[in-house]
């Protein structure tokens, strides 16, 4: 019974404060996309060079081992 009373008191005491602590979302400028959270969508641009086929093959061969039975590279789904 004490545990139930504690949970009820904690829920009542902590419930409204979390809603009050949330800041109001700013006014949305026209044409700007927003997520469910109300924050603006950000974009990231990544610039890189594609590794050569030999580099990829060396990477795979150094980090993978063929299976014992079929002697082929295994993969996880």
- The per-residue pLDDT for range 30-73, each reduced to its tens digit, is 555 666 677 777 889 999 999 999 999 898 888 888 888 888 87
Q: Give the pTM.
A: 0.33
pLDDT of residue 48: 93
pLDDT (0 to 100) of residue 63? 84
Q: How far apart are CA 65 and CA 73, in angstroms?
A: 6
Q: Where are the alpha helices (DSSP H) in 1-77?
A: 2-20, 53-63
Provide the pLDDT for residue 54. 95
């Amino acid at each position: 019974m004490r545990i139930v009373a504690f949970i009820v008191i904690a829920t009542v005491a902590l419930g409204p404060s979390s809603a009050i602590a949330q800041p109001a979302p700013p006014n949305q400028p026209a044409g700007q996309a927003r997520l469910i959270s109300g924050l603006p969508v950000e974009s990231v641009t990544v610039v890189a060079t594609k590794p050569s086929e030999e580099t990829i093959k060396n990477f795979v061969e150094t980090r993978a081992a063929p299976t014992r039975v079929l002697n082929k590279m295994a993969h996880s789904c």
